[in-house]
Structure 1
Amino acid sequence: MEVSPYGLEALWDQGDFVIKSVAVLLVAMSIASWYVILTKALQILRFQRAAHAAGHQFWDTTSLPEGIATLGTENPFAEVAQAGVSSMRHHAAHKGHLHDQLSVSDWVTLSLRQAIDEVSGKLQTGMAVLASVGSTAPFVGLF
């Protein structure tokens, strides 16, 4: 069987250092992209299951500590709920500080927003890799 002069094998055999390095770079960017895509897909599936559990199990409990216990440890909703509890305890225990200027509701709201931002940040890890590869891969390939 005759090898095509336009195939990948011919490209690799006849290519110089620049061609081989560009090919290796494109393969590495592809592997990194697929890694991020697959890990994010699994993470989103876990978060969807956690959201479903939070929607049903958490609100069916009789107390907040019991509700947090039903969420488990590796649950982003448990982190947010725990942040709310911690902020309430902090506000009650530290009287005479600047945060006393805020109502308990405002203090807890700020703490919950910060916890939600942290969980959202965890969800967005790896997106910079996809953005960088997506924006540079066409130009590297054309080079």
Structure 2
Amino acid sequence: MVTDTSALIINVTLWVLIAFSVLTWTLIVLKVWQYWRQSLANRSFEERFWGASSLDEARGEIASGKTAPVVRLAGAGFEVLDNARQSHPPALKYRGDLLATLERKLKRQLERESRLSDIGLTVLASIGSTAPFVGLFGTVWGIMHALQDISRSGKASLEVVAGPIGEALIATAIGIAVAVPAVLAYNFLMRQSRRKQQALEIFAEDFLHLVAAETAHR
């Protein structure tokens, strides 16, 4: 039998891995729900936005639209346009060429949306990379103390060795079982995040071209 201290350390290791597993699946559910909800909201807003007959009509869709990345992106663009239309001098950050200022504003908003979209993914990557080593630590610690107890007892039969070492190896198995879903979820969610970001970049580019066309006709 392993010592009480060794059993305590192995138990703590297992509880850490269980906490990693709970956190992993919580993040998976929350991020999948977030991406799905935002995808529907983005699609709904873009249909209404591009179905509008003018920029002013499209501007009204922001107030009626749900909070979504593309809504915030469009809002950032219209913020620049609204400040350019004011009679008094705009703030310093809105001065200069309209299209250049608009492009800069859209890029900054895209960066914010990218950071918001990636929240939680670093945690999944960290769990996926560290969980096997946490499990391995518990296994090595358990085997080391099991061998010490066996050495002190002077018995090295299979029945004596198999039990303690088998218990210690469970930590490695659990560590791998925790890491695999975390790594797979990270890769999947990262692809979804990049696709969503690409869609926002396309919208920003189209928005910029639309404003350029409207400006040229005035």
1:36 aligns with 2:27: yes
| Partner residue, 1:104 | 98
- Identity rate, percent: 27
> Which protein has the bigger helix share?
2
| Partner residue, 1:90 | 83
SS at match of 1:16: helix
Conserved in 2, the CA contact under 8 Å of 1:83 and 1:112? yes
Conserved in 2, the CA contact under 8 Å of 1:91 and 1:104? yes
Report the aligned-residue RMSD: 2.6
Unaligned runs of 5+ in 1: 1-10
Amino acid in the other structure paired with 1:25: V
1:25 aligns with 2:12: no
Counterparts of 2:68 and 2:90, CA distance in 1: 31
Counterparts of 2:68 and 2:12, CA distance in 1: 42
| Partner residue, 1:139 | 133
1:66 aligns with 2:42: no
| Partner residue, 2:187 | none
Counterparts of 1:35 and 1:142, CA distance in 2: 24
Change over 3 Å in CA distance of 1:98–1:50 after alignment to 2: closer
Counterparts of 2:43 and 2:25, CA distance in 1: 27
User: Which entry has the higher C-alpha Rg, 1 or 2?
Assistant: 2
| Partner residue, 1:7 | none
Q: Deviations over 1:40-94 (max 9, x none)?
A: 000110111022212312211231322323423x222111111111122334543
| Partner residue, 1:16 | 7
Conserved in 2, the CA contact under 8 Å of 1:58 and 1:71? no
SS at match of 1:57: helix
For this pair of structures, how many residues does the alignment match? 131
Conserved in 1, the CA contact under 8 Å of 2:73 and 2:109? yes
Counterparts of 1:75 and 1:98, CA distance in 2: 25
Counterparts of 1:55 and 1:92, CA distance in 2: 24
Amino acid in the other structure paired with 2:135: G
Per-residue deviation, 1:98: 7.1
1:45 aligns with 2:39: no
Moved more, 22-31 or 53-62: 53-62
Conserved in 2, the CA contact under 8 Å of 1:22 and 1:140? yes
Moved more, 52-61 or 17-26: 52-61
TM-score by length of 1: 0.79
Amino acid in the other structure paired with 1:40: K
Conserved in 1, the CA contact under 8 Å of 2:42 and 2:71? no
Conserved in 1, the CA contact under 8 Å of 2:24 and 2:124? yes
Q: Deviations over 1:20-54 (max 9, x none)?
A: 00000000001111111110000110111022212
Q: Deviations over 1:99-118 (max 9, x none)?
A: 53x31001011111111211
SS at match of 2:119: coil
